Amino acid sequence: MKSLRDKRVLLTGGGHGIGLAIAEAFAREGARIVLADLDEAKLSKAGERLDEIAPGSLLYRLDVTDTEGIADLREELIGELGGLEILVNNAGVVQGGAFLEVPLERHRQTVEVNTQAVIAVTHAFLGDLIAADEGHLVNIASASGFIGLPWGSTYAASKWAVIGFGESIRLELKRLGHDHVGVTSVCPSYVSTGMFEGVRQPLLTPFLSADKLAAKVMRAVRKNEPFVLEPAMIKIMPLLKGSLPTGVSDKILDAVGASTSMESWKGH
């Protein structure tokens, strides 16, 4: 997608953090922004920030786990803007802690928001991306979608699923001849938004700023890149997991502190 000017972009969980940083980056390029978030206070603050860049963004309260709410949003959005070129599935939650110490309800909620809702929102809007002259689906997954994450098992599982989903949709769109719709899976390590407050930074894996990650996402949409792997250390992660014996990759992940990083998680 060469130009982002006037492209209609929907971001879930766009009221804070990575979603808001991506919305601001798109707004700077002249795109038309639709933010959907569960939290009205965050939404209205985000709206004020976006107004400073490009007034006129649309703000919707949406719980991405509410299928009827997604359908209502689609009706309003298409009524208001007439179509959609870019969908950013960004809304996400995490609950750190040893698997058995986290109530089952929190494990279920993680899968509902991080995985099932990505499928539901994509189901509602993919037809609109296909109907546009050019379209792009961005799924915010995680570097933990390539490795095991102790003290974050269900979070990692939810992100492995998002990567598998994005890759499958990407290939399916090609097979169906919809080459004008790209798919990008975004897989960052820790980003300073507060979601992973308290974690220990693994070696050679500095915390990213949401703005720096947003710039990489913009580049991926422009160049139709299937993956954003950040920071640099994460680029070798799929190779490391896929090519080395498990005992060896376990030792490397232990040595860099990836396997213990979540032990001290506090979150927002």
Ligand X SMILES: NC(=O)c1ccc[n+]([C@@H]2O[C@H](COP(=O)([O-])OP(=O)(O)OC[C@H]3O[C@@H](n4cnc5c(N)ncnc54)[C@H](O)[C@@H]3O)[C@@H](O)[C@H]2O)c1
Q: Which residues are catalytic?
A: 155
Which residue, among 162, 181, 171, has the nearest Cα to 120 in the 3D structure? 162
126 binds ligand X (CB under 6 A): no
- 134/7 Cα distance (integer angstroms): 9
CB 65 within 8 A of CB 117: yes
Give the nearer residue to ligand X in terms of CB position, either 4 or 189: 189
The SS3 assignment for 60 reads strand
The CA–CA distances, whole Å, from 216 to 228, 229, 240 equal: 7, 9, 22
Nearer Cβ to ligand X, position 178 or 192?
192
Closest CB to ligand X among residues 182, 188: 188
Among 57, 115, 122, 142, binds ligand X (CB under 6 A): 142
Tell me if 160 contacts ligand X by CB under 6 A: no
CB of 152 or CB of 182, closer to ligand X: 152
Nearer to ligand X, 180 or 235 (CB): 235
Beta carbon nearer to ligand X, 45 or 178 = 45
**Min CB(39)–ligand X separation in Å:** 4
The letter for the amino acid at 147 is I
Which residues inside 206-235 make contact with ligand X, applying CB under 6 A? none
Q: Give dist(CA 202, CA 200) in Å, integer.
A: 6
Shortest gap between Cβ of 179 and ligand X (angstroms)? 27
**Binding-site member from 12, 153, 184, 261 for ligand X (CB under 6 A):** 12
Residue 113 makes contact with ligand X by CB under 6 A: yes
* Residues whose CB is less than 8 angstroms from the CB of residue 103 and which lie 6 or more positions away in sequence, other chains included: none
Cβ at position 158, least distance to ligand X in Å: 8
Per CB under 6 A, the list member of 10, 11, 19, 153 interacting with ligand X is 19
SS (H, E, C) 113-168: HHHHHHHHHHHHHHHHHHHCCCEEEEEECCHHHCCCCCCCHHHHHHHHHHHHHHHH
How many residues bind ligand X (CB under 6 A)? The answer is: 29
Closest CA to 254 of 140, 147, 117: 147
Tell whether residue 15 is a contact of ligand X (CB under 6 A): yes
Considering only the stretches 87-95, 122-130, 174-182, 241-249, report the one whose residues sit in contact with ligand X under the rule CB under 6 A.
87-95
| Binder of ligand X out of 11, 126, 195, 214 (CB under 6 A) | 195
CA dihedral sign, ordered 185, 190, 204, 206: positive
Is residue 67 within the footprint of ligand X (CB under 6 A)? Answer: no
CB 202 within 8 A of CB 258: yes
225: exposed, middle or buried (C-beta count within 10 Å: 0-12, 13-18, 19+)? middle
Q: How far is the CB of 176 from ligand X (least distance, A)?
A: 27
Residues engaged in binding ligand X (CB under 6 A) = 12-13, 15-19, 37-39, 42, 62-65, 90-93, 113, 140, 142, 188, 190-191, 193-196
